[in-house]
Amino acid sequence: MQYQLNANKGSKLKHIIRNPFLYAMAVPGLLFFLVFSYFPIYGIIIAFKDYNFAKGITGSDWVGFRNFDYFFTSDDFWIILRNTLVLNMLFIVFTTVAAVMIALMFNEIRNKYFKRISQSLIFLPYFMSWIVVGMIVQSLFGGEEPMINTWLQYLSLEPVNWMFESKLWPYILTVIRVWQGAGYLSIIFLAAITGISEDLYEAARIDGASKLQIVLRITLPLLVPTIMIMTLLAVGKIFNGDFAMIYAIIGDNSSLYPTTDVIDTFVFRSMRQLHDFGMSSAVGLFQSIMGLIFVITANWITRRVSKESALF
Amino acid sequence: MRQKQSAADRTFTVFAHTFILLFTLFCVFPFLLMIIGSFTDEGELIAHGYTLFPQTLSLDAYKAVLQSDVLFNGYSVTIFITVVGALTALCISAMLGYSLANKRNVLQTPFLFFCYLPMLFSGGIIPFYIVVSQWLHLQNTIWVLILTMLCQPFLVFLLVSFFRTIPEELEEAARIDGANEMRVFFQIMIPISKPILASVGLFYALSYWNDWFMGLMFVDNEKLFPLQLILRRMVSNMEAAKNLIPASAAIAVTPPTYGVRMATTVLTIGPIVLLYPLLQKYFVKGLTVGAVKG
């Protein structure tokens, strides 16, 4: 049996028939996307219907934009939109700054054992489920006598009723996010630093530059494109509040909703508690469309910065 | 050649070490607290909360936890979905990745588009919920925990970008020697892709091990609860229980509830933490290949 190495334009079908295995290999994966990603995309029409379990997606009555009206005119809309954007901005800025710092400082460490051990430990939080993180947060801030308050007492500071102070939670969540994600992100920056030509450092050293100067004048500037790309990719996902994180940590503590309720937690709650499928899918559709616009814009900008790094 | 360090350079080096050391401690601290908490005597936990240097150690929490059928059951569910899920997911993703990366694939562009689109635009959780529960009737089966997470686009693309770095000549040479598609894939591609397969496999294993969302959405049957869901329920149930018991009676409750929470958490993360150092070097390598090549 003969194998074609290159297909002519006119013989696509022939190529597929002659190399069935090459195409068959993709089938299970494509099937997965069809069932679990494309069928739900079809289900978006629920946003325009008064969804009824008995009647199903096709059978339910059309209601036009009523589901959207209801959501856009409610006070919740502005709160969850603001929370989603503010929290994500905080996460992106602080995680990136921490990750860049880690990468730059890490690059200065020569001791192999210190390097290996600290790297392993810095990545560790990324491997934890948010439920485990939620449990830790719960034991630090929750209960009648939160441990953080015990420490505050040592420092003779006033105890705080953490579970009711919604103003503090954007900061607490940011700290948790940095704890969890900065080490992981720093791998990518470290990889970029490894790619910087050794000649540049050599030249700088001969010219008598100090270590700090080398970091600020060579490493950091050359890292900027990578930082920009990673930031743009993160900005592209800004409409997706981190559901797993926020739900696992905040849960159903409604006194914290004013600052921590994001689009995803709102949608999940409307589905589970209010069973309002129409409005929840309208919110979901709004989120998907805004997300798409942001991803495409971010990708467009990324392409202009560096074609290689763009998503598509 | 090493040059003598100036005072400024030395200060900088010290700063770099201190920074990394402090960040490392910051990352480790919660784990230490949790592990020590799980070995602390319950009375002390109630009186002082979790501390790094407890006065009395105790194994009561672990004794209580290890007797629990619920936890044992959760372990079996989680191990099953992690092993079966991660292996199946790895197979499917590796095959898809190979097919998508292959230059000979005349359908490459449409295939890639088909896999990209879900990353950019999704139906959201409501339609997803309806498809899984109303159309496929997967709720309350173990399969819902496995099937819904079989393919992660990001991991498929790590594989695609890796397969693209393999020189075409390798494949051509094998074909000239008479190897067919299956042999090229299994005897050439799989062996040289070990690092990336290990890291993608680790990522899949992690997402199965850590999953609770699919369980929360689709499973009511306690027998099918994965570990993380049991742990989640422990967070909220403890809260609920505390509201029911009057504050004065709380001391009289004997089961080491605070310790149990920590012990369960430790047991939940245990195996993954043990697996991680073994695979870490592959994982860093795999991730950088994917990240640099986009």
Contacts of A311 in chain B (CB under 8 A): 116, 294
**Interchain proximity A134–B28, CB inside 8 Å:** no
Interface probe for A, chosen from B122, B139, B285 (most Cβ of A below 10 Å), is: B122
Q: Residue A121 is nearest to which of B27, B120, B268, comparing CB atoms?
A: B27
State the pLDDT confidence band at B289, using cuts at 50, 70 and 90. Answer: low
Q: Each residue of A121-176: pLDDT tens digit?
A: 998 899 899 999 998 898 888 777 788 888 888 888 888 888 888 999 999 999 99
pLDDT of residue B3: 54
N-to-C CA span, chain A: 37
Exposure class string for B131-140: b at 16+ Cβ within 10 A, else e: bbbeebebee
pLDDT of residue B243: 45
pLDDT of residue B54: 79
State the pLDDT confidence band at B253, using cuts at 50, 70 and 90. Answer: very low
- Give me the torsion for CA of B282, B285, B290, B291, rounded to 10°: 130
Q: 């020569």: which residue's tokens?
A: A110
pLDDT of residue B248: 44
pLDDT of residue A86: 95
* CA of A196 vs chain B CAs: smallest distance (Å): 13
Contacts of A264 in chain B (CB under 8 A): 125
State the pLDDT confidence band at B255, using cuts at 50, 70 and 90. Answer: low
Nearest-angstrom CA–CA distance, A78 and A258 = 11
Q: Which two tokens stand for residue B238?
A: 């403890």
Topology given in CATH for the domain delimited by B60-289: MetI-like fold (1.10.3720)
pLDDT of residue B258: 77
State the pLDDT confidence band at A229, using cuts at 50, 70 and 90. Answer: confident
Nearest-angstrom CA–CA distance, B23 and B3 = 29
Contacts of B234 in chain A (CB under 8 A): 135
pLDDT of residue A2: 47
DSSP state of A248: H
Per mean pLDDT, which range of A138-147, A214-223, B174-183, B193-202 is the poorest?
A138-147
Q: Residue B291 is nearest to which of A128, A129, A188, comparing CB atoms?
A: A188
**Interchain proximity A101–B134, CB inside 8 Å:** no
- H or E segment to which residue A49 belongs: strand A49-50
**Interchain proximity A284–B111, CB inside 8 Å:** no
pLDDT of residue A309: 65
Nearest-angstrom CA–CA distance, B33 and B50 = 7
Asked whether residue A288 carries a pLDDT value surpassing 70, the answer given is: yes
Mean per-residue pLDDT, B1-15: 79
Q: Each residue of B91-129: pLDDT tens digit?
A: 999 999 999 998 888 999 999 999 988 888 888 889 999
Mean pLDDT, chain B, whole residue set: 83
Q: Residue A33 is nearest to which of B105, B118, B172, comparing CB atoms?
A: B118
Q: Which two tokens stand for residue A103?
A: 């990468």
Nearest-angstrom CA–CA distance, A132 and A128 = 6
pLDDT of residue B246: 42
Which DSSP string do the residues of chain B spell out, in sequence order? Answer: -PPPPPHHHHHHHHHHHHHHHHHHHHHHHHHHHHHHHHTB-HHHHHHH-S-SS-SSB--HHHHHHHT-HHHHHHHHHHHHHHHHHHHHHHHHHHHHHHHHH-TT-TTHHHHHHHHHHHHH----HHHHHHIIIIIS--TTSTHHHHHTTS--HHHHHHHHHHHHHS-HHHHHHHHHTT--HHHIIIIIIHHHTHHHHHHHHHHHHHHHHH--HHHHHH---GGG--HHHHHHHHHHHHHHHHHHS-TTTGGG--S-HHHHHHHHHHHHHHHHHHHHHHHHHHHHHHHHHHHHH-
Residues, chain B? 294
Asked whether residue B23 carries a pLDDT value surpassing 60, the answer given is: yes
Asked whether residue A3 carries a pLDDT value surpassing 70, the answer given is: no
**Interchain proximity B185–A19, CB inside 8 Å:** no
Burial of A290 (0-12, 13-18, 19+ CB in 10 A): middle
* CA of A245 vs chain B CAs: smallest distance (Å): 11
Nearest-angstrom CA–CA distance, A15 and A23 = 10
Nearest-angstrom CA–CA distance, B53 and B259 = 15
Residue type, B280: Q
Residues of chain B with pLDDT > 70, as a percent, come to 87
- ipTM of the complex in this document: 0.88
State the pLDDT confidence band at A31, using cuts at 50, 70 and 90. Answer: very high
pLDDT of residue A185: 92
Asked whether residue B256 carries a pLDDT value surpassing 70, the answer given is: no
Residue type, B123: G
**B68: number of CA atoms within 13 Å, CB side?**
19
**Interchain proximity B121–A5, CB inside 8 Å:** no
Domains along chain A with CATH numbers: 2-62 (no CATH), 66-309 (1.10.3720.10)
Contacts of B27 in chain A (CB under 8 A): 121-122, 124-125, 179, 183
- Beta-carbon pairs below 8 A across chains A and B: 292
Q: Each residue of B165-189: pLDDT tens digit?
A: 888 888 888 888 888 888 888 888 8
Chain A residue at shortest CA distance from B279: A120
Q: Residue A33 is nearest to which of B28, B115, B211, comparing CB atoms?
A: B115
Contacts of A252 in chain B (CB under 8 A): 236
Query: What are the structural domain ranges in chain B?
Result: 60-289
Mean per-residue pLDDT, A225-235: 86
Mean pLDDT, chain A, whole residue set: 88
Contacts of A41 in chain B (CB under 8 A): 118, 121-123, 127
Nearest-angstrom CA–CA distance, B196 and B283 = 7
**Interchain proximity B92–A29, CB inside 8 Å:** yes
Per mean pLDDT, which range of B11-20, B148-157, B167-176 is the poorest?
B167-176
Contacts of A129 in chain B (CB under 8 A): 209-212, 228, 268-269
State the pLDDT confidence band at B240, using cuts at 50, 70 and 90. Answer: very low
pTM as predicted: 0.87
Report the Cα A307 to chain-centroid distance in Å: 22
pLDDT of residue B238: 60
Report the Cα B146 to chain-centroid distance in Å: 14
